[in-house]
Chain A
Amino acid sequence: MLDAKHGGATVASVRDLKVHFQSKRGVVHAVDGVSFDIRDGETLGLVGETGCGKSVTGRSFLRLLPVPPGILAGGSVMFSAHEVCTGCEGTGCETCEGTGRKAGQDRSVNLLGIPSEDMRRIRGDRIAMIFQDPGKALNPTLPVGAQIAEVFLQHRTDELIALAGLPADTVGAVRRFASQSPRLGDGWLLSLPGARAQRRRVEEALATMVAGALAETQVPNPAKLMARYPHELSGGMRQRVMIAQALACNPDLLIADEPTTALDVTVEARILELIRNLQQRRKTSVLYISHDLSLVRRISDRVAVMYAGRIVEIGTTTEVFANPRHPYTRGLMAAVPGADTPRGRLAAIRGTVPELVDPPAACRFCGRCPYETSACRNNDPFLEAITPSHLVACFIDHPAPSGERPNYGRVTA
């Protein structure tokens, strides 16, 4: 359904991304050739277990990798900011070929290759991120209002000046104040009677924008919340502040890395609903990273399942959950206790995740897969389509170059 509506416009496409880590034992292939697209306005769920590389994949969008030991070993992350088609305002028309985007030359940039200065402009403005632990991601020494204000000062100076009722060509200390780039002596300049009044107006405009951003996340009494410090807030409230900060500049892409894992289920449900609502209203694309299958199923339009540094299956949520094709996806789903699972009969996946030090050219699920054959041990499967929108990396659905093909009818011990 999403495919039809949004045509081919993608906000980001990852191609053959490889992130390696140097360890004592050798090179760890944490992310090893991952490719996927995030389309305009969709939520793509990225699921997998600890150490599968999902977080590293998400962080590479903003180049938030520890270097060293992290090494970008190859691939690209192309990002194209969402410029709405002037003809149809994003609903899709003839000129934009139904994509809702401004036609014309390709304006995409490779996030892994651009200079740091450009990256800084994109971070927090066009691409934002929310983390698992808002307690760590927020600065404990600043009131939360000031932390959201920073985003506006960094990326929305013109808007701020306009809202303050100042001329757009305002220059000097006031503009520097509104863009958070003070110079020596600005403190004195801003204390002059004329400038002081202007500064006051900028501050008021800023407070309005911050309160507006907080109100979007349905917090009671945003004006009071702005003056609070992160440690005074509950986990759910902190996560709302993080979301307000992330969505302040109306980004094209939001990367959510397990944002509700540390929260209670009842709070989690509220936060999910909030992300979903804001995403739908603003047409933001979301990359939702989580280990929780039922949660990903609820929030995503499409789902990508990661295992040992690779995507093993990707498709629309309905396809993946109604007809999982990869043995790992099936295993994950069967491992969740359901209402009718007889006690002590949970379908566990045997063994543990392999170490990713110099992996051999074989299916990564070998050794844990109940269906593996010689084909799996000697060939490395890659993602292939089984329907136009459902791709699987397993020889069960594709012919293997050599060896006996696995199938679901036969189980190997």
Chain B
Amino acid sequence: MRAAAEPQADDLILSIREVKKHYPIREGALQRVVGHVRAVDGVSFDIRRGETVGLVGESGCGKTTLGRVIAALADPTEGGVHYNMDGMMSRIDRLEGKAARAFRRNCQMVFQDSFASLNPRHLVIDLVGRPLKVYNEATSANLIERVVELLEQVGLGRQHLYRYPHQFSGGQRQRISIARALALNPEVIVLDEPTSALDVSVQAQILNLLNDLQKERNLAYLFVTHDLSVVRHMADRLVVMYLGKVAEAGETQAIFDSPHHPYTRELMAAKPDLEADANVEVRGLEGNVPDPARPPRGCRFHTRCELATPACGWEVDDVVRWLEDAPGMFEHLVGVERQTDFAARLAFDSEEAAGLLSMAVRSEQVPEAMRAAMRRLNLDGDKVEIEFEDVGEIGLTARDDGRMAACVLSPEEVASWKRT
């Protein structure tokens, strides 16, 4: 494993810098843009030669979108992916001509759905031989030999050359995808959930294969997955994403030994190992992932975090979200006059309802941290004025051993917390 010291320029392959990918939400007949889904919202990390970086998170966290941006299948809205070309870092979406082709050759991708990622009308020789043809790497005479060589490296053989994808099992199809990705001898391969659709026994075959290939060819992998046991087995370093942002990053073993972000902890606690004590209590997360078009302020995880503090970015939307889930309250809310995200006047249809809310937000019904973060709460007839502490973005902070986590709590505080 690599030391956390200055990355050697020639060691670095890709440097992802403040990448954002926003998708416009359009509405109405004129398709006016009414907002943006912030799928990826400012993510930075590096990929170095021969290492595996694991990108983990749950559905909707932006990991797949980020993988596509890195493979140049989508352009970032802001920020960029920089590629080390002969010691010079250059943004991949600004590369042209020969340089663009060089990047393309050196960054390949394997998709989750092996059936959908292989053209059903092409034979294996067409599929695996295609990259060689595109770059004139093989003459028609030695194409077959080159393809057979690649197939043998992934555990297939000459007898599979003239078959269609549907004639293979899922594991074999994923081998074909890997052979295609290897054809141009790339430096880095983006693996987008490559084993999620496979059975465990086959998954083990593919993971072993990926490891063998990495050792032989000094490949770098970006391993995108939701499966923690797989990523622990495969990755040297880990990037944990939640709602478009990095919650925590660092060396895999260190993160598994002591997560510095409560979300990482929850993720690990939700899926215990086969070897773990069978009687250990497992509990998932409350609530839903918030809308990525309007992510929570402060720490994005504060709405579901059991450890949330008053400094985590409580805001007016948290009150509205709470109202939605409270029986018989939301119906009485008639308007929200927002001064900022942190201060607003909530209008109700009766003084009674307004009174009920101002009582409720002072009581045990809402999280203690939310109450503590409230700077002002005025009941004014059928309106309730509410103001929270103004909290800025809670960004990644550097910890020991090159680790990063985006949490206001110290590692000790995260570690010492017990479920209530």
A and B touch in the complex (CB under 8 A): yes
Interfacial residues, chain A to chain B (CB-CB below 8 A)? 49-50, 220-224, 234, 236-237, 264-273, 291, 293-294, 297-298, 317-318, 321, 331-341, 343-350, 352-353
The bracket for how many chain B residues form the interface is 35 or more
Known contacts A265-B267, A294-B274; decide if A344 and B215 are in contact (CB<8 Å). Answer: yes
Interfacial residues, chain B to chain A (CB-CB below 8 A)? 58-59, 169-172, 199-205, 207-208, 211-212, 215, 226, 228-230, 232-234, 256, 266-267, 269-275, 278, 282-286, 288-289, 324-328, 330
Contacts of B275 in A (CB 8 A): 338-340
Contacts of B226 in A (CB 8 A): 264-265
Q: Are B229 and A266 in contact (CB under 8 A)?
A: no
By secondary structure, the B interface counts as helix
Least CB distance, B393 to chain A, in whole angstroms: 24
Q: List 29 A-B contacts (CB under 8 A).
A: A49-B199, A49-B201, A50-B199, A221-B325, A222-B327, A223-B327, A223-B328, A236-B288, A265-B58, A265-B226, A269-B271, A269-B283, A271-B284, A294-B272, A297-B274, A298-B278, A332-B201, A339-B275, A343-B211, A343-B234, A344-B207, A344-B208, A344-B212, A346-B207, A346-B208, A348-B201, A348-B202, A352-B171, A352-B202
Identify the closest chain B residue to A317 (Cβ): B278
Contacts of A297 in B (CB 8 A): 274, 278
By Cβ-Cβ distance, the 10 closest A-B pairs, closest first, are A269-B284, A344-B211, A220-B325, A337-B233, A348-B204, A270-B284, A349-B201, A49-B199, A346-B204, A264-B58
Extra A-B contacts (18), CB below 8 Å, given A224-B327, A265-B58, A266-B266: A221-B327, A221-B330, A224-B330, A264-B59, A264-B226, A267-B285, A271-B284, A294-B273, A333-B274, A336-B229, A336-B274, A337-B232, A339-B232, A339-B273, A343-B233, A344-B207, A348-B205, A349-B204
Identify the closest chain B residue to A343 (Cβ): B211
Identify the closest chain B residue to A338 (Cβ): B275
Q: Are B208 and A268 in contact (CB under 8 A)?
A: no
Q: Are A293 and B234 in contact (CB under 8 A)?
A: no
Q: In the complex, A270 Cα to B278 Cα: how many Å? A: 17
Q: Are B208 and A348 in contact (CB under 8 A)?
A: yes
Q: Are B273 and A338 in contact (CB under 8 A)?
A: yes
Q: Are A341 and B233 in contact (CB under 8 A)?
A: yes
Contacts of B256 in A (CB 8 A): 339
Q: Which of B59, B228, B234 has the most C-beta atoms of chain A within 10 angstroms of its own C-beta?
A: B59
Known contacts A265-B270, A291-B199, A336-B274; decide if A270 and B285 are in contact (CB<8 Å). Answer: yes
Q: Are A338 and B229 in contact (CB under 8 A)?
A: yes
* Contact pick for A337, options B202, B207, B288, B326, CB 8 Å: B207
Least CB distance, B257 to chain A, in whole angstroms: 10
* Contact pick for A346, options B233, B273, B278, CB 8 Å: B233
Contacts of A331 in B (CB 8 A): 201
Contacts of B229 in A (CB 8 A): 336-338
Least CB distance, A15 to chain B, in whole angstroms: 28
Contacts of A237 in B (CB 8 A): 288
Least CB distance, A172 to chain B, in whole angstroms: 35
Q: In the complex, A339 Cα to B228 Cα: how many Å? A: 10
Q: In the complex, A267 Cα to B287 Cα: how many Å? A: 9
Identify the closest chain A residue to B287 (Cβ): A220
Q: In the complex, A224 Cα to B333 Cα: how many Å? A: 14
Q: In the complex, A337 Cα to B233 Cα: how many Å? A: 6
Q: In the complex, A350 Cα to B72 Cα: how many Å? A: 36
Q: Which of A264, A331, A337 has the most C-beta atoms of chain B within 10 angstroms of its own C-beta?
A: A337
Least CB distance, B98 to chain A, in whole angstroms: 36
* Contact pick for A268, options B284, B288, B325, CB 8 Å: B284
Contacts of B325 in A (CB 8 A): 220-221
Q: Are A266 and B267 in contact (CB under 8 A)?
A: yes
Q: Are A336 and B200 in contact (CB under 8 A)?
A: yes
Identify the closest chain B residue to A222 (Cβ): B327
Q: In the complex, A271 Cα to B271 Cα: how many Å? A: 13
Contacts of A291 in B (CB 8 A): 199-200
Q: Are B327 and A294 in contact (CB under 8 A)?
A: no
Contacts of A346 in B (CB 8 A): 204, 207-208, 233
Q: In the complex, A267 Cα to B256 Cα: how many Å? A: 20
Q: Are A234 and B288 in contact (CB under 8 A)?
A: yes
Q: In the complex, A333 Cα to B275 Cα: how many Å? A: 10
Contacts of B271 in A (CB 8 A): 265, 268-269, 294
Q: In the complex, A340 Cα to B208 Cα: how many Å? A: 15
Identify the closest chain A residue to B205 (Cβ): A348
* Contact pick for B278, options A269, A321, A334, A348, CB 8 Å: A321
Q: Are A273 and B208 in contact (CB under 8 A)?
A: no
Least CB distance, B261 to chain A, in whole angstroms: 14
Contacts of A335 in B (CB 8 A): 200-201, 203-204
Least CB distance, B247 to chain A, in whole angstroms: 13
Q: In the complex, A220 Cα to B323 Cα: how many Å? A: 10
Contacts of A272 in B (CB 8 A): 282
Q: In the complex, A268 Cα to B256 Cα: how many Å? A: 20
Q: In the complex, A345 Cα to B325 Cα: how many Å? A: 48
Identify the closest chain B residue to A293 (Cβ): B274
Q: In the complex, A352 Cα to B215 Cα: how many Å? A: 26
Q: Are A273 and B282 in contact (CB under 8 A)?
A: yes
Q: Which of B204, B271, B289, B328 has the most C-beta atoms of chain A within 10 angstroms of its own C-beta?
A: B204
Q: Are A269 and B270 in contact (CB under 8 A)?
A: yes
Contacts of B169 in A (CB 8 A): 352-353
Contacts of B200 in A (CB 8 A): 49, 291, 293, 332, 335-336
Least CB distance, B237 to chain A, in whole angstroms: 14
Identify the closest chain A residue to B197 (Cβ): A50
Q: In the complex, A321 Cα to B283 Cα: how many Å? A: 22
Least CB distance, B225 to chain A, in whole angstroms: 11
Q: In the complex, A224 Cα to B289 Cα: how many Å? A: 19
Q: In the complex, A105 Cα to B316 Cα: how many Å? A: 64
Contacts of B233 in A (CB 8 A): 337-338, 341, 343, 346
Q: In the complex, A179 Cα to B278 Cα: how many Å? A: 45
Least CB distance, B38 to chain A, in whole angstroms: 18
Contacts of A353 in B (CB 8 A): 169
Q: Which of A236, A237, A269, A353 has the most C-beta atoms of chain B within 10 angstroms of its own C-beta?
A: A269
Contacts of B272 in A (CB 8 A): 294, 298
Least CB distance, A62 to chain B, in whole angstroms: 25
Contacts of A294 in B (CB 8 A): 271-274
Q: In the complex, A188 Cα to B211 Cα: how many Å? A: 72
Q: Are B201 and A269 in contact (CB under 8 A)?
A: no
Q: In the complex, A324 Cα to B344 Cα: how many Å? A: 61
* Contact pick for A266, options B207, B208, B270, B330, CB 8 Å: B270
Q: In the complex, A339 Cα to B288 Cα: how many Å? A: 29
